């Protein structure tokens, strides 16, 4: 999972039981900002065990590479095809697999290449045309897997950086 700058994400639950996949559980809450996630081992073993909550709905995954961006008058710097700031609400894009977004207003499955939008918790999730979709991209500085200039304790390159 990659998180956009100035985002807030809460890990509500993370349980991995190597011998009992039915006990696996990952629950992530996107409070604000954006993220891009690829289904990990837990999602591959039991896709129903992974969920991403947002203020406007819950995202369930199925073999997925997807992006989610929740805007509250704070997405002015997010690039769009139209050049205007994304509308307030939850924007979803699916690069691979499928997600289902659900809330009290309804549910919608989004497939590879589709974009979605949820205006608020009581509005149903809707598919939007690609020209109106918001691709949830990460700034180049955090989206590249390049070695840092630092070195590990044994003089090797750093494997992971949290910014």
| Residue 150 pLDDT > 60 | no
Q: What 3-state DSSP class applies to 66?
A: strand
β-strands 50-54, 25-38 pairing? parallel
pLDDT in tens, 105-125: 999 999 999 999 999 999 999
| Residue 162 pLDDT > 60 | no
Neighbours of 39 (CB within 10 A): 20
Neighbours of 25 (CB within 10 A): 17
| Averaged pLDDT for residues 38-42 | 82
Contacts of 30 (CB under 8 A, 6+ apart): 7, 8, 9, 52, 53, 54, 68, 70
pLDDT in tens, 54-95: 999 999 887 788 999 999 999 988 878 888 889 999 999 999
* CATH topology classification for 2-143: Jelly Rolls (2.60.120)
pTM for this prediction = 0.79
C-alpha Rg value of the chain to the nearest Å? 17
Confidence of residue 141 (pLDDT cuts 50, 70, 90): low
The pLDDT score that the predictor gives to residue 33 is 93
How far is Cα 59 from Cα 50, in angstroms, rounded to an integer?
9
């Amino acid at each position: 999972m990659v998180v956009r700058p100035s985002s807030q994400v809460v890990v509500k639950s993370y349980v991995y039981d190597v011998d009992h996949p039915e006990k696996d559980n990952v629950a992530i809450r996107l409070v604000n900002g954006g993220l891009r996630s690829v289904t990990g081992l837990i999602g591959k073993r039991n896709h129903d065990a992974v969920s991403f909550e947002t203020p406007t709905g819950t995202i369930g995954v199925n073999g997925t590479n997807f992006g989610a961006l929740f805007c509250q008058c704070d997405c002015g710097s997010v690039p769009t095809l139209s050049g205007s700031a994304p509308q307030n609400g939850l924007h979803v894009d699916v690069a691979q697999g499928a997600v289902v977004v659900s809330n009290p207003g309804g549910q919608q499955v989004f497939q590879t290449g589709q974009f979605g939008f949820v205006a608020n918790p009581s509005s149903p999730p809707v598919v939007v045309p690609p020209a109106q979709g918001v691709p949830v991209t990460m700034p180049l500085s955090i989206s590249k897997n390049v070695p840092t200039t630092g070195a590990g304790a044994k003089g090797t390159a750093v494997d992971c950086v949290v910014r």
